[in-house]
Chain A
Amino acid sequence: MTQFLSLLLNGISLGAIYALIALGFVIIFKASEVVSFTHGSLLLLGAYTVARLSDPLGFLPAVLIGLAFTALAAFLVERLIINQLRGAPVISLAIVTIGVDIIILTELIRQIGPDILNVPHPWGGDSVRIGSVGISENRLIAMGVAGVLIIAFFAAFKYSSWGVAMRASAEDGEAAALMGIRQGRVSALAWIVAGVLAAVAALFLVGAPTPGVSAAAYTVALRAFPAAILGGLDSTGGALVGGLLIGITEALAAGYQDQLSFLGRGFGEVAPYVVMIIVLLVRPSGLFGTKELTRV
């Protein structure tokens, strides 16, 4: 039971991080009608920036610059590429984002090299015990920060002018344009928010129990894709539920891998994709997705 609770708690904290990434993925889809595969490399960019700048500048300034830099990169991708291609088929745009992703990723891997860059989190790699359940401090803080950001995000999405403009233009872009809502601005802002969320996720993903920033952080980010898709690509609530579901599945599958050994070792890493496939077989548009995604 203790093991189960421990795995569950760790799964939730991991899931909260995935949810941050997935939320960005979903709002980009809603605002720009693009399935953005650049997210993995943006996340790695955030982690890399923080790791590189921590030494000369100190942790906090490095984090702030890392967030700003990732947001800027996301903004530039939107302005220079996605916005120029407005009206192109969804598939072409997705492929374009894969191309952008590969370009950024390749450069980052060249910079990082074979090393594992350390991010000097002030909270270090210690674990805390809550009752008999153990969790790394990093993951605990991640859960808190992600929780606050997710609540702030949903509040803004529901009540702010940006949220209303965003939902209106996601539902009917032309009608929104006729109301004077500037779709370009809504879309650019969505990319910026997604960039910040990805960088925050990166900050915690490269902390304990992960050793630091390496090219492997990218594959971790990829697990947020099934989170977004199984929640329903156009549903923010779905991204949250999907993120948690994937995080918990992964933690449980990894924790019980001895009992699951008939599935092969390392099942935890593929479990998110298995869950995604099963969910999509039952509900093709995801748990909370809109049935009809293609708008005329």
Chain B
Amino acid sequence: MGNITTDRDGAVLSVDSLQVTYGGAVEAVRGVSMEVPDGAVVAVLGSNGAGKSTLLRTISGTLRLHRGRVDAGTVRFGDLDLTRRDPGQIVRAGVVQVPEGRRIFGRLTVEENLRAGGMGNRDRAAKATALTRVHDLFPVLQERSGQRAGLLSGGEQQMLAIGRALMASPRLLLLDEPSLGLAPRVIGQIGEVIAEINRQGTSVLLVEQNATMALGVASAAYVLDVGRVSLSGDARELAQSDEVQRLYLGHTGASPEQRTERAPRRTLSRWTA
């Protein structure tokens, strides 16, 4: 695992001018370039349909399952070209994804889920180390190891999904909206867990709609808008920017009075006319 060298800028993952289409027609990602520096947490923000999941599918090699195709551009992991490789090779290279909506194996036990996560990891010793790490991070998974995963709470399922991915001893962890559908308190815990995983030496690419959590953990961030990078930079600076404040942190740039004065009148008149 440790033999992946970073390129000259120290980036462990670099995406260059990536273009992806679905079904030969729908452009989901239009020329995205981004980087994850080695040892960093990088956030990708964006609303539904911005191309966030497509970006992760491309990195993980599962585009084909969605009838998607890379039309141009490259995805590099260190000096390894990941573009168009199959998911198994990408996992073995050290890039592992926690998919959106957790996608744990509900009919398998917690222990079996973790075992499934370690399937891409041939090294027994590494697997044992990974299991200890997962149990240290999430003691609840050890307590519930014989239980069907489908019976866990939402937060526990998210922890299992992250733990399952860690079983492959990833060098780079991809997280697709880990906060989705979770209570605010649990979202806070997930944020802490991500920070801890990163402290232990795993780089993280975090895709989120919850900008507060994401910008809290990340050092850098990119904002995707309809398949393009519309903003990028230092996470703290981005959090202060007007656009991010307005779009993702719920602070409106315009004053409330201005907004109510404009919009509704016309639609009303149309109905009353």
Chain A interfacial positions (CB closer than 8 Å to B)? 161, 164-165, 167-168, 171-182
Residue of A165, A177, A179 most packed against chain B (CB within 10 A): A179
Whether B120 lies near A181 (C-beta < 8 A) is yes
Whether A175 lies near B103 (C-beta < 8 A) is yes
**Which residues from chain B contact A174 at a C-beta distance below 8 Å?**
62, 65, 99, 103
User: In the assembled complex, how far is the CB of residue B60 from the closest CB belonging to chain A, in whole angstroms?
Assistant: 6
Whether B107 lies near A167 (C-beta < 8 A) is yes
User: In the assembled complex, how far is the CB of residue A37 from the closest CB belonging to chain B, in whole angstroms?
Assistant: 26
Number of residues in B with C-beta < 8 Å to the partner? Answer: 28
Which A residue's beta carbon lies closest to that of B109?
A164
Task: Tell whether B146 is near chain A: CB-to-CB under 8 Å.
Answer: no
**Which residues from chain B contact A165 at a C-beta distance below 8 Å?**
116, 119
17 contacts between A and B (CB under 8 A): A161-B115, A164-B108, A164-B116, A167-B108, A167-B112, A168-B113, A171-B105, A175-B99, A177-B87, A178-B87, A179-B119, A179-B120, A179-B168, A180-B120, A180-B121, A181-B120, A182-B86
Chain B interfacial positions (CB closer than 8 Å to A)? 60, 62, 65, 86-88, 91-92, 96-97, 99, 103-108, 112-113, 115-117, 119-121, 164-165, 168
Known contacts A178-B60, A178-B87, A182-B88; A172/B115 CB under 8 A: no
Tell me, in angstroms, the Cα distance from A164 to B105 when the chains sit together: 10
Tally of contacts, chain A with chain B, CB under 8 A: 73
Whether A179 lies near B164 (C-beta < 8 A) is yes
Chain A facing B: main interface SS: helix
Whether B91 lies near A178 (C-beta < 8 A) is yes
Whether A181 lies near B88 (C-beta < 8 A) is yes
User: In the assembled complex, how far is the CB of residue A182 from the closest CB belonging to chain B, in whole angstroms?
Assistant: 5
Whether A167 lies near B105 (C-beta < 8 A) is yes
Which B residue's beta carbon lies closest to that of A171?
B105
Tell me, in angstroms, the Cα distance from A151 to B117 when the chains sit together: 26
Which B residue's beta carbon lies closest to that of A174?
B65
Partner of B105, one of A175, A177, A182: A175
Whether A181 lies near B112 (C-beta < 8 A) is no
**Which residues from chain A contact B108 at a C-beta distance below 8 Å?**
164, 167-168, 171
Tell me, in angstroms, the Cα distance from A50 to B88 when the chains sit together: 39
**Which residues from chain A contact B97 at a C-beta distance below 8 Å?**
178
Whether B115 lies near A178 (C-beta < 8 A) is no
Whether B116 lies near A179 (C-beta < 8 A) is yes
Tell me, in angstroms, the Cα distance from A142 to B87 when the chains sit together: 42
Tell me, in angstroms, the Cα distance from A176 to B99 when the chains sit together: 11
Tell me, in angstroms, the Cα distance from A92 to B63 when the chains sit together: 23
Tell me, in angstroms, the Cα distance from A93 to B26 when the chains sit together: 28
Partner of A180, one of B65, B112, B119: B119
Tell me, in angstroms, the Cα distance from A172 to B108 when the chains sit together: 11
User: In the assembled complex, how far is the CB of residue B89 from the closest CB belonging to chain A, in whole angstroms?
Assistant: 8
Whether B87 lies near A168 (C-beta < 8 A) is no
Which B residue's beta carbon lies closest to that of A175?
B103
Whether B65 lies near A168 (C-beta < 8 A) is no
**Which residues from chain A contact B106 at a C-beta distance below 8 Å?**
171
Residue of B88, B97, B104, B113 most packed against chain A (CB within 10 A): B88
Residue of A173, A177, A180 most packed against chain B (CB within 10 A): A180
Whether A178 lies near B105 (C-beta < 8 A) is no
**Which residues from chain B contact A182 at a C-beta distance below 8 Å?**
86, 88
